[in-house]
Amino acid sequence: MDISDIAANDYVEVDAEQRLGKVRSLFERENPKGVIVTEAGAYDGVITERQLIQSHIGDDTRVAAMVTDAPKVSRTEDVRETARMLVEGGTKIAPVFEAGSLWGVITEDAILDAVLANLDALDVRDIYTEHVVTVDEDDSMGRVINLLREHGISRLPVVDDAGLLSGIVTRYDIVDFVVRDTEKTTVGDRSGEIERLLDLPVSDEMTSPVKTASFDDSVRDAVDDMLAHDYSGVIVTPDDDERAVGGILTKTDVLRALSYTEEEHLDVQITNIDLLDTLSRQEVRERIENVVAKYGDMDVHHAHVRLSKHKEKLRGTPLIQSQIRLRTNKGQIAGTGEGYGADNSFHVALDKLERNVLELKGIEHDEEYEGQLLRKLNDL
């Protein structure tokens, strides 16, 4: 199946010479998945909602200062390959070209809607993300914004004093928040006092109640809810406790699952692949395969590497965070590390992953030994 029938010829477009304030207004008014930027009528790049939240650039700045690349897709590109390109490009929208000219756009929603009927074969537990970053109800909005930037995520579950789910705050929820003045003057008895908006508790801005899915729900039902309510993801909870945060399922998780391939070698997806610099996809795959080979009983279904760039630099080399996650027949195994340059950060993350793999191997051996010992005791 290709994208010729699901790509859209209508899209939100802005000229590179326009003010950034216009783009913010477009997101607030039309809520697009992304905005196509053109210069002198030719395609120049895209701007996403995530960029706006991660940026401190003022409204009077030209759009050209924030434009970024997105994978260029042929109008007849395969759906699975397009899904992979969106995941690895870290974007929800990509320009579609026909005969060398910009024809339209393809969005993650269009892909998911087209394959919805095929998602019954998967349960949420098969593809959800287990480890979730959360915030407390009394955490400040400043902390929320920093966490969204630091982890490159779109939503944060909010938990109460008992660690149970009480709300959620998303990039969409705070777009209006971050473009307000960072200070406001109060009135009444506190007239003249400056109250910093960034110090407001997240409980003032979060959405509640929260849409959830259980481990045994079908991915089709979960995606159907996301598309119907324009959610980017849902919180995953155990069947016996709808307020316990067990994980999260996002549209990106589903796209990633959609693009799984039956390859002879390990299937590896890389988000923000442009940050790899000196590393190649083949080197990344081979290094992960070498770690996995140390545990012969482990079957790896899929590997995902996510790269995130921080503003900090050392002699011009940016600080990079690498996250490696394996989906295996033994469950999910992950490793995270930071370093200056992708090679260094990936090495640190891979070392952590290897330790976690070997730890799992040791635990299983201990359990096997314990079982043997108990059987011997029972024989006595």
Mean pLDDT confidence for 164-185: 69
Q: How confident is the model at residue 98 (pLDDT cuts 50, 70, 90)?
A: very high
The pLDDT score that the predictor gives to residue 54 is 66
Q: CATH homologous superfamily of domain 260-369?
A: Ribosome hibernation promotion factor-like (3.30.160.100)
**For residue 46, is pLDDT > 70?**
yes
Percent of the chain with pLDDT over 90: 29
Q: Are the C-beta atoms of 222 and 235 separated by less than 8 Å?
A: no
292-309 tens-digit pLDDT: 877 767 777 778 888 888
Q: Which pLDDT value is given to residue 194?
A: 38
* pLDDT band for position 137 (cuts 50, 70, 90): very high
As beta bridge partners, residue 47 has 35
Architecture of domain 124-254: Roll (3.10)
Mean per-residue pLDDT, 227-248 = 88
- Same CATH fold, 260-369 and 124-254? no
The answer on pLDDT for 38 being more than 60 is yes
Most confident of 90-94, 272-276, 350-354: 350-354
Give the strands of the sheet with 155-159, arranged side by side: 135-136, 155-159, 165-170
Domain ranges of the chain: 13-106, 124-254, 260-369
By three-state DSSP, how is residue 46 classified? strand
Q: How confident is the model at residue 82 (pLDDT cuts 50, 70, 90)?
A: very high
Beta bridge partners of 294: none
Give rounded-to-5 percent helix, strand, coil for the chain: 40, 30, 30
The arithmetic mean of pLDDT across residues 342-354, rounded, is: 91
Question: Rounded CA gap, 252 and 306, in Å?
Answer: 12
- From residue 182, alpha-carbon distances to 56, 179, 194, 334 in Å are 11, 8, 10, 37
Average pLDDT score, the chain: 82
Strand 155-159, strand 135-136: pairing: parallel
Q: Please say if the pLDDT value at position 370 is more than 70.
A: no
Query: Between residues 276 and 365, which one has the greater pLDDT?
Result: 276
Q: How far apart are CA 217 and CA 249, in angstroms?
A: 11
**Model pLDDT, residue 189:** 44
Would the pLDDT of 151 be above 70?
yes
Residue 367 has a pLDDT of 47
Residue 258's CB: how many other CB atoms inside 10 A? 22
Model confidence over 111-129: pLDDT tens digits?
A: 999 999 889 888 999 889 8
Quote the tokens at residue 175.
């777009």
Taking residues 12-26, report their average pLDDT.
Answer: 88
Of residues 83, 97, 90, the one with CA closest to residue 68: 90
Cross-strand partners of 184: 195
Question: How many whole angstroms separate alpha carbon 35 and alpha carbon 52?
Answer: 11
Q: How confident is the model at residue 366 (pLDDT cuts 50, 70, 90)?
A: very low
Q: What is the pLDDT of residue 153?
A: 80
Show Cβ contacts of residue 332 under 8 Å, excluding neighbours closer than 6 positions.
130, 325, 326
Can you tell me the mean pLDDT for 158-176?
85
Burial zone of 233 (CB within 10 Å; 0-12 exposed, 13-18 middle, 19+ buried):
buried
State the average pLDDT over residues 285-298.
80
Match domain 13-106 to its CATH number in 3.30.1130.10, 3.40.1390.40, 3.10.580.10, 3.30.300.180.
3.10.580.10
The beta-strand segments (E) located in 108-264 are: 135-136, 155-159, 165-170, 183-185, 194-196, 212-214, 233-237, 247-250
- Bridge-based pairing state of the strands 35-39 and 268-271: unpaired
* Residue whose C-alpha is closest to residue 353's, from 333, 367, 369: 333
